[in-house]
Structure 1
Amino acid sequence: MYKFLAVCGFGVGSSMVLKMTVEKVCKERGVECKVENTDLSSAKATKDIDAIFTSKELGDELKRTTNVPVFPIKRYMDQAEVGAAIDDFINSKSK
């Protein structure tokens, strides 16, 4: 089971939307995951996660401060965009 974070500035609004989209896409693909939504500073301190999904702006900072894959998402409700990011993550794990 993968552990993912959905991250926004305050860890409330947009990260919750992104969390729900990630969960839905994973379910459709048969990918077992646990998704938590959180704020930027908490995401930097979180351990034992497999990937982070966030905005482009926060993604750049998270890429510099964490050692897990970070996937910037432009449209949090866009299942195709989120699905492509999840596919990229899954493909990187199977190599």
Structure 2
Amino acid sequence: MFVRIVKMGFHPEKIPEFLSNFEENKEKIRGFEGCAFLELYRDKHNTEQFFTYSYWKDEQSLENYRNSALFKSVWAKTKILFNTKPEAWSVDKLVSLD
């Protein structure tokens, strides 16, 4: 399982716009071929910080998404709202306990 974690910081007044864009596109992202899981988190102390956490079939599936019209549309609306440079990690899930 290939996991992608993205940390994003937003200008406070832009957060509603980000959340609206995410709400509008979350089902499309989750439904993209190769995406098995999608969650959005907000930092409890720094409420301008958000994280997406997604599972992908493999690295190529994520690359296909990142090269898609859907990603380009979502990202174009998102990146103009940042108050800091986003960070991303690609990791392999080793253990999961239920």
TM over 0.5: no
TM-score category (smaller protein): 0.3 to 0.5
Structure with a larger share of its residues in helix:
1
- Taking structure 2 as the reference length, the TM-score comes to 0.35
Q: Which has the higher contact order (CA 8 A, sep 6+)?
A: 2
Give the structure with higher Rg (CA).
2
Structure with a larger share of its residues in strand:
2
